Structure 1
């Protein structure tokens, strides 16, 4: 169901007879001066407001048996400059948007118990049919982007996210998992290649907020995930057909 997650009444009604809650959140975008920009208050409401609705519904008696939330690898911030980053490394969010991920994760994780596992997937940038790189980059080509181009690419095919969700349901995962494929290049390197392949100008990375580097995906692989698109070469394919 697509809904405003911070709507307490609708969330309570939705969870009244649900065994599994999968939360994928989007929002916080507004039009300003003819451009689409992120609004910090709306973004926080979309994420934290949704989590607060879930907490309220469950504390009021909703019988959910499992929660899966797709967060973001950007939650790490610069991870305090750690040389390598796995799920045990403490995040260091550097802006309000990164802080929102951590606050949302914490609200949901605090609900976890033996009878209700809570799985948090920190996902990379998702691509696949309808979200091909050439389309995602078309509007950014030649434009200044605030992110850190030297941070890891951290990307994943849509169908590998679906696989991971199925695996979490099957094995009742609880805890934090990094979720991205085997591409080891930086954002600037990977997206420069995509731009070159499509005749686009390169993105201008402003590096205003340091991003995580040397992030590990070993935990999710050790828990049974085999990537359908490990090297991001099957961008336009439906891999689960």
Structure 2
């Protein structure tokens, strides 16, 4: 009955590429909202569809007769999206999915790639899947509502797994390229805020492991190296032989010290990180 990836952006495409050796034994349907992406996605799929996940007819067509649905949703465009845009992308999509479940009797597995941002600020402490979310932001509240909607779809016949992802990096999103523009600049604060990362190949690999292993519940997908922003930036600029950032002190752009995210459950489930530390 196969698999559908709803949302074939940066991560969805990485998942599709890792699944190529399984075709045609595993029929693969990919969806996108961007017509211009058809040329680069066509060869990766047995079926490629334009699909707005908030449209019942389009979502039903994409999931009909499928056993597994993977939701790698992201707001459209590259600009910062407000909370209302997040709500349309995530909450409205999952409300649409919920309304269709009676018409999807073959759908036995749902995997959703969420975000570790739902933990909010923990003042630099460690958090894991048992930590109560504390977002403090409108975006985070939307993501939590999305998790609630997805979780409620699980039952004795349908497994639901939520993968809370750290920030993604990898081909096309290399950290050195993203940070080199800070060379020689002055930044407010002291850079003590912890950031958490995962390579896109590991995010995709963990998702496939979740599918194969019938994972359920929440799993943090993050590497072994929570890192303070000043250390991340300074290390990258030194590697590139660029001028260091000057941390000027004062109120930081991001309040608090962030959180260090534990990946013990990911490892206990048997996933072995390809990139346990930042490259």
* Pick aligned residue for 2:270 from 224, 228, 232: 224
* Pick aligned residue for 1:156 from 183, 194, 198: 198
The offset of 1:53, in angstroms, is 1.7
Match of 1:98 in 2: 140
The offset of 1:203, in angstroms, is 9.2
The offset of 1:190, in angstroms, is 1.6
What secondary structure does 2:218 align onto?
Answer: strand
Work out the CA distance in 1 between the residues paired with 2:237 and 2:268. Answer: 33
Aligned residues: 226
* TM-score under structure 1 length normalisation: 0.82
Change (3 A) 1:232 1:59: same
Q: Which has the higher contact order (CA 8 A, sep 6+)?
A: 1
What secondary structure does 2:157 align onto?
Answer: coil
What secondary structure does 2:93 align onto?
Answer: helix
Work out the CA distance in 1 between the residues paired with 2:81 and 2:55. Answer: 21
The offset of 1:44, in angstroms, is 1.6
Work out the CA distance in 2 between the residues paired with 1:200 and 1:154. Answer: 24
Change (3 A) 1:119 1:149: farther
Match of 1:114 in 2: 156
Change (3 A) 1:232 1:208: closer
* Pick aligned residue for 2:86 from 15, 38, 43: 43
Q: Does 1:5 align with 2:53?
A: yes
Structure 1 unaligned spans of 5+: 31-35, 234-241
The offset of 1:207, in angstroms, is 4.3
Match of 1:72 in 2: 115
The offset of 1:65, in angstroms, is 1.1
Change (3 A) 1:14 1:149: farther
The offset of 1:144, in angstroms, is 6.7
Deviations 1:154-207 (CA, angstroms, capped at 9, x unpaired): 111111112101111111000001110111322332233223333266497934
Structure 2 unaligned spans of 5+: 1-30, 34-51
What secondary structure does 2:94 align onto?
Answer: helix
Q: Which has the larger radius of gyration?
A: 2
* Counterpart mapping for 1:228-239 below 5 A: 228-233=274-279
Indicate conservation of the 8 Å contact 2:118/2:143, yes or no: yes
Match of 1:21 in 2: 69
* Pick aligned residue for 2:213 from 171, 176, 188: 171
* Pick aligned residue for 2:261 from 180, 199, 215: 215
TM-align CA RMSD: 2.8
Runs of 4+ residues over 6 Å off in structure 1: 143-146
* TM-score under structure 2 length normalisation: 0.72
Deviations 1:81-133 (CA, angstroms, capped at 9, x unpaired): 69431101110111111111111111001111122111101111111111111
